[in-house]
């Protein structure tokens, strides 16, 4: 069980990590990073899968289905867009130097 203060500790440390990662980023990477973090919260997909997996009533099934659909869109779309953006950075570096 993740409970009480353990939960609070995890929350605090993870927040600190997030803050540290972005701290010293050049502004040219702001858009790709935002896109990358947008992909990372696509992990919501696994939560939606669990919710749908446990659903019984039609109502729950419908909402769960929508949740999984949206979560999959977040994860896949976030990945594709970030990857395309970062690809550009690489090729330009090679051409530039």
Partner 1 sequence: MSEFVSMRSVIEASYFIAAILFIFGLKRMSSPVTARGGIIWAGAGMVVATLVTFLYPGMGNYALMMVAIFIGGVLAWVSGKKVAMTNMPQMIALYNGMGGGAAAAIAAVELLGGEEHGLVFGTLAVLGGMIGAVSFSGSLIAFAKLQGLMKSTVRFGGQQLLNLLLLTATVGLAGIIVFQHGDINLVSVFFLLALILGVTMTLPIGGADMPVVISLYNALTGLAVAFEGFVLQNAAMIIAGTVVGAAGTLLTQLMAKAMNRSLANVLFSGFGDEVVGEASDISGSMKPIEAADVGVMMAFADKVLIVPGYGMAVAQAQHKVWELAQLLISRGVDVKFAIHPVAGRMPGHMNVLLAEAGVPYDIIYDQDEINAEFASADVALVIGANDVVNPAARTDPASPIYGMPILNADHAKNVIVIKRGQGVGFSGIENALFFLDQTRMLYGDGQEMASQLIQEVKSI
Considering only residues 68 through 87, tell me which ones interact with partner 1, judged by CB under 8 A.
Answer: 68-87
Residues 43-72 that bind partner 1 (CB under 8 A): 43-55, 57, 59-61, 63-72
Residues 3-22 that bind partner 1 (CB under 8 A): 7, 10-11, 14-19, 21-22
Give the x-and-dash track for 22-41 against partner 1 (CB under 8 A): xxxxxxxxxxxxxxxxxxxx
From the CB of 55, what's the least distance to partner 1, in Å? 6
Taking the CB of residue 35, how many other CB atoms lie within 10 A of it? 19
C-alpha span between 76 and 32 (Å, rounded): 15
Helices (H), the chain: 4-23, 30-40, 44-53, 58-96
């Amino acid at each position: 069980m993740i409970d009480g203060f353990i939960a609070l500790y995890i929350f605090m440390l993870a927040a600190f990590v997030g803050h540290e990662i972005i701290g010293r980023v050049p502004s040219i990477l702001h858009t790709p990073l935002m896109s990358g973090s947008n992909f990372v919260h696509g992990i919501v997909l696994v939560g939606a899968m669990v919710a749908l997996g446990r659903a019984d009533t039609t109502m729950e099934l419908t909402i769960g289905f929508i949740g999984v659909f949206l979560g999959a869109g977040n994860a896949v779309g976030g990945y594709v867009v970030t990857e395309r953006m970062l690809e550009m950075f690489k090729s330009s570096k090679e051409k530039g130097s």
